[in-house]
Amino acid sequence: MQPTSYRTHGCGTLRSSDVGTIVRVAGWVRRVRDLGKFVFVDVRDRSGILQLYAPADSPWYQPLCALGREWVIQAEGRLRQRESPNPNLPTGEVELEVTALRVLNTAATPPFLVEDETDGQEELRLRYRYLDLRRPIMQRRLQQRARLMDILRRYLTAQGFLEVETPMLIRSTPEGARDFVVPARLRPGTFYALPQSPQLLKQLLMVAGCDRYFQIVRCFRDEDYRGDRQAEFTQLDCELSFVTREEILEIFEGLVRHVYAELLGIEVGEIKRLTYAEAMQRYGSDKPDLRYDLAWEEVTAWAHRQAVPFWQNKRVFWLWVAGVKASRNLQARWKALAEAAGLSLAFIQRAEGTYTTTLSKYFAPETLGLSEDGLGLWLAGEKLPGPELGLLRSTLIHDLNLPPQRPWALAWILDFPLFELTPEGRLTAAHHPFVQPHPEDLDRLEQEPLSVRSLAYDLVINGYEIMSGSLRCHTPQLQLRVFRALGLSEAEAYQQFGFLLEALGYGAPPHGGCAFGLDRWLMLLTGGTSLRDVIPFPKTASGADLMLQAPAPLSPEQKAEILRWLTVENT
């Protein structure tokens, strides 16, 4: 006979105020402890863990002892106060004295412990992801993910945004990464692409008069996998009309502060602002980890006054790390890292007031005026500042095991270059080709494109790019100028982006927007170390879904049909 309800309470919801209540719970068996005179069983569901109890003279003693790990059970009884409370559990002051028990399903022995601290290697856990997701830490991350989505929707709706869905099957357009393409059966010889982002669609929504749009959307990029990158990921995508860059920063700074307050109960403090040029000059990165106060300082003018031969005609940068000592092995490692990039690196160590440096024959270390012990580095090269500054800074932090000065560090990075060069020397869009050039630099767009800044902005949290956005070209004339700078003729521009250029000609409002990488942000918010910690069903570094065994070969019939579509000429 079917019960009227499998449970009256969640396992993790019961407290001392519920003592004496008749309770029915259902969940998975976490552990069985037969102590002879009584038995304890931990049962777990999404809400938490509850201890079941039966004395040896209970008719339910033996059935409880016979339970296996991860069996699915239903238990009923009266809630009582525990004689030995467990302060590490929210339900640690109570237990359920069992008066009825039902096995809903047995389970094979799991291939790893379904615990926060598990014995399963990642590949095995991904193969049995449905078991991995049962672990309490993964359940908490799924709940945090759901809470974040709810917080975002509520905040943006209150700010006047409309949630609008955009299609998954679109036209392939160049956006920086490879597209995943899908043959169109009804239009042989043609293809859809899965969207890398809804970039052009959300701009068209601004032309359509939506004013403020958002969407929590799946995006697809056929690129190499890394710890903070997956080919299939989730964005919070937003676009606004009739806004300045300052208004956009204000709105989304408010959203970020609201998320931290609601999700973690903390205030994030100051959100710094740096231009791209400042970030590269001081940190050697456009996504610096500002939890650490280490910053490079250019000392080229001072260096050229010294008699150091390998500093002449070079730019020289100085970094001071207070209170540390570096072994000769570490110094040799860092020097080799610099030399591999064509740079020279020199050190000075001050310990107990005594200086050690290989440059003492060129100048007296005391003239530097160092007032504390620590380690100083000079990096010299013709092409500085560059990413080598950032690589050396992050290597020092890692190798010296430096503690962060603060748990959270947020910063806006502004005024990115509009263009950059590919390794082959071809001009390409630094962000994407729809970004608005900085008004002060428009007169150099054709003659000096690499000197042109953009009205783009990134939000960086603890060294990760979490949000990226920009104001857009909203007139066809300006958009065509950018396309021409990228080497597209007007005919090529209309062939690839004719629908956008046509739409901009029908009264497109000034607009801009952004996209948050929600998986990456969640990884930070939940203390994860990889996107696989927060994506329910992720891929491995080789792009495989070990649980679904995907990608997989097609049947001969499917393959033959697709090959027929691929060989048909476009009509």
Looking at residue 176, what is its pLDDT?
64
% of residues, the chain, pLDDT over 70: 98
| CB of 416 closer than 8 Å to CB of 410 | no
> Residue 447 and residue 19: Cα distance in Å, rounded?
79
Would the pLDDT of 234 be above 70?
yes
The tokens for 148 are 């974040």
> Residue 145 and residue 514: Cα distance in Å, rounded?
20
| CB of 183 closer than 8 Å to CB of 566 | yes
Looking at residue 568, what is its pLDDT?
67
> Residue 138 and residue 532: Cα distance in Å, rounded?
10
Kindly list the distances between the CA atom of residue 208 and the CA atoms of 238, 432, 468, in Å, as whole numbers in the listed order: 15, 22, 23
Of 91, 88, 37, nearest to 65 (Cα)? Answer: 37
51 strand-pairing partners: 42
Alpha helices in 289-348 (DSSP H): 300-304, 328-340
**Cβ partners under 8 Å of residue 438, min gap 6:** 415, 418, 452, 453, 454, 455
Looking at residue 229, what is its pLDDT?
81
Q: In what order do the strands lie in the sheet with 374-381?
A: 297-298, 315-322, 374-381, 344-351, 354-357
| CB of 316 closer than 8 Å to CB of 300 | yes
Would the pLDDT of 6 be above 70?
yes
Quote the Cα angle for 549-555-556, to 5°: 145
Q: Averaged over 95-123, what is the pLDDT?
A: 96
CATH topology of domain 142-245+413-557: BirA Bifunctional Protein; domain 2 (3.30.930)
Candidates 3.90.1310.10, 3.40.1180.10, 2.40.50.140, 3.40.50.300; CATH matching 11-105: 2.40.50.140
Would the pLDDT of 500 be above 80?
yes
Looking at residue 571, what is its pLDDT?
44
Per-residue pLDDT of 366-422, as tens digits, reads 888 888 999 999 999 998 999 999 999 999 999 999 999 999 999 999 999 999 999
Burial of residue 167, with CB atoms counted within 10 A of its CB: 0-12 exposed, 13-18 middle, 19 or more buried: exposed
Looking at residue 175, what is its pLDDT?
61
> Residue 480 and residue 477: Cα distance in Å, rounded?
5
CATH topology of domain 292-403: Gyrase A; domain 2 (3.30.1360)
In SS3 terms, 138-158 reads as HHHHHHHHHHHHHHHHHHHHH
Would the pLDDT of 340 be above 50?
yes
Looking at residue 563, what is its pLDDT?
83
Per-residue pLDDT of 255-312, as tens digits, reads 999 999 999 999 999 999 999 999 999 999 999 999 999 999 999 999 999 989 999 9
Is the Cα torsion angle 252, 253, 258, 264 positive or negative in sign? positive
Of 266, 212, 283, 153, nearest to 513 (Cα)? Answer: 212
% of residues, the chain, pLDDT over 90: 87
Chain-centroid distance, C-alpha 302: 41
Question: What pTM was computed for the model?
Answer: 0.93
Would the pLDDT of 57 be above 70?
yes
| CB of 483 closer than 8 Å to CB of 493 | yes
192 strand-pairing partners: 182
Would the pLDDT of 525 be above 50?
yes
Looking at residue 536, what is its pLDDT?
96
> Residue 255 and residue 239: Cα distance in Å, rounded?
14
- Average pLDDT value over all residues in the chain: 94
Q: Quick one: the chain helix, strand, coil %, rounded to 5? A: 30, 30, 40
Q: Report which residue type is found at 26.
A: A
Confidence of residue 188 (pLDDT cuts 50, 70, 90): confident
Q: Averaged over 331-356, what is the pLDDT?
A: 94
> Residue 156 and residue 179: Cα distance in Å, rounded?
30
Q: Averaged over 183-194, what is the pLDDT?
A: 88
Q: Averaged over 51-79, what is the pLDDT?
A: 98
Confidence of residue 3 (pLDDT cuts 50, 70, 90): low
Domain map (residue ranges) of the chain? 11-105, 142-245+413-557, 292-403
514 strand-pairing partners: 238, 469
Looking at residue 146, what is its pLDDT?
98
Q: DSSP string of 439-486? A: GGGGGGTTT-GGG-BBSEEEEEETTEEEEEEEEB--SHHHHHHHHHHT
Would the pLDDT of 569 be above 60?
no
Kindly list the distances between the CA atom of residue 336 and the CA atoms of 16, 150, 284, 303, in Å, as whole numbers in the listed order: 62, 49, 18, 22
Looking at residue 1, what is its pLDDT?
43
